[in-house]
A and B are shown apart, each in its own frame.
Chain A
Amino acid sequence: MDSALIPKGVKRCPTWQFLLWIGIVGAVLLWGVYAMLLCWIKGLNQTNMNDYYGFALWIWADLAVIALGGGAFFTGFLRYVVGKDELKNIINYAVLIGFICYSSALLILAIDVGQPLRSWYIFWHANVHSMLTEVAFCLSCYFGVLCIEYIPLVLENRQLDRVPFFHRLGHNMHEIMAIFAATGAFLSFFHQGSLGGVAGVMFGRPFAFREHLLVWPYTFFLFTWSAAACGPCFTLLITHITEAITGKRLVKDNVKDLLGKISGWMLGTYIIAKIIDTWYWAAVTAPSKGFTLMEFYSDNAFYGIWILVTEIVICGVLPAVILMIGPLRRNRPLFLSAIILACIGVCLNRWVMVLQIMAAPVMPFDNWALYLPSWQEVATTILPVAYGIILIMISYRYMPVFPQEQELNPVVE
């Protein structure tokens, strides 16, 4: 039925199957949309957030998807700026995942603020001292860049490509993509960093606060670094999942290996920096404000010290070692475990840097506050996942996302 739209030389599932899956995921999406409308119409009382948890599940989801979407900027940076040419075989997918992650982040933000209709005041009445201002500017600019990076892929659709204007537009955009990739990398560096800065500058919150380098707290650099390390892992993970679902190899192993190796080294260096940061914070920063490390971790089982060990050792050191050492990396199950752990690690880090900050009391007579999201929060957080799946399904079906697909999966007609 839609064969005219499907790229030449590749095989796709029957239309009914495609539509069935779109329907199933679409139902989840609609559930999320319903919850989103509730939040917009009735207000944020639909959530379980409160005056202690001004930031909660959504902001975590935001930070997490942006970190995971970091694959786009870092792969782009490696491909266009550093010149790792093999990565051209995965860059399309990295961009697509990045696009999904960033558009999701913007959508979640639009639900999260109390007055979405005037959220543009962040630009109009910008406060240059605020990390969030920096986030907003860089994030929206970078989203623009991602759109520009994604458009040529859309234009490569068989039918669109027939239109000469689109054909030429797509071609010309490809030509200047390096500039955009570089711009994107630059913008990403700042907004990933400023998202880290959001926590690090809160000098009223000893759990979050970090010493500064120039105007930026250490978390600024740690966030950029961890996004660069774990973002490509997420790209690889989604690629693997796509391969598993489609039952095809879509990207050659050497490309994955290269990206995995780079991620491993990034993760390794990151985790060393993170350990130094944690040690300095525990030994110097927090005590100077009257806190010991264990005070942050011994009130309840949920925010126990396990969370720190898991983040740094199990989801940091371990995957870094696997990805850095060739033989380990080339072991498929190990490789998969490593990229999964890395993704969990960065999400856990973002969780801690959002939720645990809110949970830990600062005033000596205050109490820990725990929080469980409402279904509306969960639904609106799953909404972008459903949206992402649908966008991937459509993109994969109608666009030549994987340049190596044809070669790896010759169609016998």
Chain B
Amino acid sequence: MKEGHNQIQTSKFGMVIDLDKCTGCGACMVACMSENNVPFREDESDKLLSITWMRVYQISNGKPYPDNEICYLPRPCMHCEGHAGHSPCVSVCPATATDYDSASGIVSQIYTRCFGCRYCMGACPYHARYFNWWDPVWPKGMEQYLSPNVSPRMRGIVEKCSFCFHRYQLARDKAYYEGRRTIKEEEYQSACTQACPAGAITFGDLLNPGHKVHQMVLPDLNHHGRPRNPHAFRLLERLGTNPKVYYLSGREWVRRAGDNYVQGEKQAEHH
């Protein structure tokens, strides 16, 4: 071990979503909204204007009735590592308002620094970033349920899933007070993971072999965390975004729907 070893245990928090279990119920979306003080408006039917840090997509095998199959795909922020922390969004933000935290692997968003240029939104292929086109307004009295752990965002800035970073901070503080250097797996779980009624979401440290997420996908750390579990895949693996959200499915068409392939091309073999 190197001298001057970092005091903070280095982690790479990641998520595994079992698409065979996910029922598309939307609980993760609302768990996230209520945990993170996400605003809402009267009409949210235009999904290109609707802030949903966690969004459940519906994908299809494209076959006609009655052979049509659908699958739900929850999409939080992927917390891409890219190459050495140069995730698509972090590398483009002109004001360092979004950053890659190498200690946790979390892509942060500093609301008070962001000045709303939206370059990060263009750079993100997952549409995980949302702009506050309006001032957030809660109907009278409803601001009472706002959590003090996450500051409501002002108009004119970008926001996105933080992997419930405030929960990480609380867990870290607790560990610190108890004289521990590490936090336990169950001490830091995102709101969506905790809420999922189907138990389809698993959250933890991808670097820690004791954590479920590691065991489920067996990330190949020599190849940017590519999953070694043949049923696991990442969204748009080929772009080199190196995301930390993994998906599991036993269905081949679902795994293939996670990336683009030129016609006739086989799905990339995992190492």
Interface residues of A (CB under 8 A from B): 43-45, 49-55, 112-116, 118-119, 121-122, 124-127, 129-133, 136, 198, 201-206, 287-292, 357-358, 362-366, 369
Contacts and interface: CB of A to CB of B under 8 A. Distances in A.
Interface stretch (B9-17, B169-177, B224-232, B236-244): B236-244
Contacts, number: 167
Given A114-B155, A288-B238, A125 B96 contact: yes
B212 interface: no
Contacts of B130: 51
B86 interface: yes
A130 B156 contact: no
B269 interface: no
A131 B259 CA distance: 27
Interface stretch (B26-34, B101-109, B112-120, B138-146): B112-120
Interface stretch (B183-191, B200-208, B260-268): B260-268
Contact of B236 (A130, A204, A358): A204
B167 interface: no
Contact of B97 (A125, A136, A203, A363): A125
Contacts of B125: 204-205, 362-363
B92 A291 contact: no
Contacts of B241: 203-204
A54 B263 CA distance: 30
B94 A289 contact: no
A52 B126 CA distance: 10
Contact of B113 (A52, A125, A365): A125
B115 A292 contact: no
A121 B118 contact: no
Contacts of B97: 121, 125
B119 A132 contact: yes
Contacts of B132: 114
A55 B259 CA distance: 25
B235 A363 contact: yes
B8 interface: no
Given A51-B49, A201-B91, A126 B126 contact: no
A127 B85 CA distance: 14
B233 interface: no
Nearest to A358: B122
Instruction: Report which residue of A51, A54, A113 has the largest number of chain B beta carbons within 10 angstroms of its beta carbon.
Output: A51
Given A206-B239, A288-B238, A44 B115 contact: no
Q: Report, as a range, how many residues of chain B touch the other chain.
A: 35 or more
A289 to B, nearest CB: 5
Given A114-B157, A204-B125, A292-B262, A363 B93 contact: no
B94 A133 contact: yes
Given A51-B49, A202-B123, A115 B92 contact: no
13 contacts: A43-B133, A43-B134, A43-B155, A50-B49, A114-B115, A119-B115, A129-B92, A203-B88, A205-B123, A290-B265, A291-B260, A362-B125, A363-B127
A358 B157 CA distance: 19
B156 A43 contact: yes
B257 interface: yes
Interface in B57-100: 57-60, 73, 82, 86, 88, 91-97
A44 B88 contact: no
Contacts of B257: 364-365
B221 interface: no
Contacts of A291: 260, 262
Q: Is the interface of B mostly helix, strand, loop or mixed?
A: loop
Nearest to B131: A51
B73 to A, nearest CB: 7
Contact of A50 (B48, B93, B238, B258): B48
Contacts of A132: 92, 94, 117, 119
B116 A366 contact: no
Given A125-B95, A136-B94, A365-B59, 14 more contacts: A44-B116, A51-B50, A114-B132, A114-B155, A122-B115, A126-B96, A127-B94, A129-B91, A130-B94, A132-B119, A204-B241, A290-B262, A291-B262, A357-B122
A127 B96 contact: yes
B238 A55 contact: no
Contacts of A53: 48
B196 interface: no
A204 B118 contact: no
A131 B95 CA distance: 11
Contacts of B195: none
B236 A363 contact: yes
What are the 4 tightest A-B residue pairs by CB atom distance, in nearest-first order? A114-B116, A114-B156, A290-B260, A54-B118
Nearest to A56: B118
Contacts of B263: 292
B124 interface: yes
Contacts of B135: 43
Contacts of A292: 262-263
Contact of A289 (B116, B129, B134, B238): B238
B114 A115 contact: yes
Contacts of B262: 287, 290-292
A216 B113 CA distance: 27
B95 A122 contact: yes
A32 to B, nearest CB: 20
B239 A289 contact: yes
B115 A121 contact: yes
Contacts of B240: 203
Given A130-B93, A205-B125, A121 B113 contact: yes
Nearest to B87: A204
B121 interface: yes
A105 to B, nearest CB: 14
Nearest to B155: A43
Given A51-B127, A125-B97, A131 B92 contact: yes
Interface string B39-50: 000000010111
A363 B58 CA distance: 12
Contacts of B73: 365
B48 A130 contact: no
B123 A204 contact: yes
